[in-house]
Every structure is written in C-alpha cells, then in structure tokens.
C-alpha cells in the first residue's frame, strides 16, 4: 500500500480544498467534488464525489421507511490502488495543472 508522509497529505489536501464544487464527466457520469477528506478509504486522504443527474435513490430512515431522494456519494482515496499515482478518476476530473502538482508531491 502506498503511504504518504504527513506533510505530503497536508499539502495535497490544501491543493484540493479550493476545488470543492468542481464538476466534470468521468466515464460518462457527471460528478461533483463535494468534500476533501483527511482520512478516506485505506486510511489515506481522499475525496467525496457526488453523482449528478436525475437518477436519485430513495434514502430510508432508521426504520426502513422512505424518507427522501438523494444523490449517490462515493469516497475515493487520492492514490490509485495499483500504481503510485493519483486515482484514475481524479486524473480525469481535476485540471491538468493540479494533477501535475499532486504528482510532483508524490515524487518527493
């Protein structure tokens, strides 16, 4: 598992925080960056992406009764699980300048 130093993690989070609200198409689905996580999947920094569009699932309350409709939110680690690089979804979603800066932090 790829590990990051505390300094790398902090700098990555600082670079991504201003991008909250950025929208883009990833594999044919529109998504929006809604949160940058200090600790996401696999204990690494991550992001929360919300699916955009008309398909919204019904959220149930604690008793299983339908409560409201909500968009699906997925959390991703910043790093790919198969290589020491950014997650492929983030490489598609983020501006090239930010991708380059984040990749630079990985080589430090």
pLDDT tens digits for range 34-49: 999 998 888 889 999 9
Q: Report pLDDT for 1.
A: 42
Q: Report pLDDT for 57.
A: 67
* Threshold 0.85, pTM exceeds: no
What dihedral do alpha carbons 33, 82, 38, 62 form, nearest 10°? 70
Q: What is the DSSP string of 81-104?
A: SSSSSB-HHHHHHS-HHHHHHHHH
**Cα separations in angstroms, 51 against 5, 56, 77, 102:** 30, 9, 17, 24
Digit-by-digit pLDDT tens for the chain (108 residues) are: 457 888 999 999 999 999 999 999 988 888 999 999 998 888 889 999 998 875 666 767 777 777 776 778 889 999 988 888 999 999 999 999 999 999 999 887
């Amino acid at each position: 598992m790829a590990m990051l130093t505390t300094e790398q993690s902090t700098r990555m989070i600082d670079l991504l925080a201003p991008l909250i609200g950025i929208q883009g198409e990833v594999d044919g689905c529109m998504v929006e960056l809604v949160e940058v996580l200090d600790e996401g999947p696999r204990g690494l920094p991550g992001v929360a992406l919300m699916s955009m569009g008309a398909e919204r699932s019904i959220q149930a309350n604690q008793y299983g009764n339908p409560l409201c409709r909500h968009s699906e939110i997925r959390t991703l680690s910043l790093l790919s699980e198969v290589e020491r690089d950014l997650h492929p979804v983030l490489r598609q979603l983020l501006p090239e300048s930010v991708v380059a800066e984040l990749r630079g932090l990985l080589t430090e």
